């Protein structure tokens, strides 16, 4: 798994897992590597999805709001295969608060799964953070590792 992760991380022609249609190297990788910050909540959410696909727990922790962030977060034992992202809505409440509704498809133990979520984001000191989620009644949530 480590070789595949490094190959994806270093291959500029590889499509970004966030579904933007852009190469990973010019889409979410600069965010993951700390070279740039997400300009809005939607960009942060898409980059967080790509971080799950790339197993970038470091990025997920760094973009999680300190008030709701777990002390530790490890994706080493996560066997999910992320298959796609559908953004349903990006709602800006004001200049520091936004939500993003999405459906993430993944496969776990050979079975297709869907995570339908409305994520809340806050902007502090010019930087966007993921706060928490509200799961849709349409699809039961699968606990995160």
Domain layout of the chain by residue ranges: 2-135
Report yes or no: 56 and 85 within 8 Å, Cβ to Cβ. no
Fold of 2-135: Nuclear Transport Factor 2; Chain: A, (3.10.450)
Helices and strands per DSSP (H, E), number in the chain: 4, 4
β-strand 97-108 against 81-94: which pairing, if any? Answer: antiparallel
- pTM, full prediction: 0.83
Q: What is the pLDDT of residues 53-100, one digit of tens each?
A: 999 999 999 999 999 999 888 888 889 999 999 999 999 999 999 999
Residue 120 CA to residue 42 CA, distance in Å, equals 10
Q: What is the pLDDT of residues 90-139, one digit of tens each?
A: 999 999 999 999 999 999 999 999 999 999 999 999 999 999 998 655 54
């Amino acid at each position: 798994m480590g070789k595949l992760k490094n190959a994806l991380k270093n291959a500029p022609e590889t499509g970004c897992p966030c579904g933007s249609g852009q190469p990973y190297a010019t889409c979410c990788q600069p965010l993951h590597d700390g070279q740039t910050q997400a300009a809005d909540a939607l960009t942060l959410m898409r980059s967080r999805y790509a971080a799950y696909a790339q197993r970038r727990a470091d990025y997920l922790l760094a973009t999680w709001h300190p008030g709701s962030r777990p002390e530790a977060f490890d994706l080493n034992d996560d066997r999910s295969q992320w298959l796609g992202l559908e953004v349903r809505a990006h709602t800006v409440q004001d200049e520091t608060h936004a939500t993003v509704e999405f459906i993430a498809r993944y496969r776990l133990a050979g079975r297709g799964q869907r995570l339908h979520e409305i994520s809340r984001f806050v902007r502090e000191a010019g930087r966007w953070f993921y706060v928490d989620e509200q799961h849709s009644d349409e699809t039961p949530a699968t606990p995160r590792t």
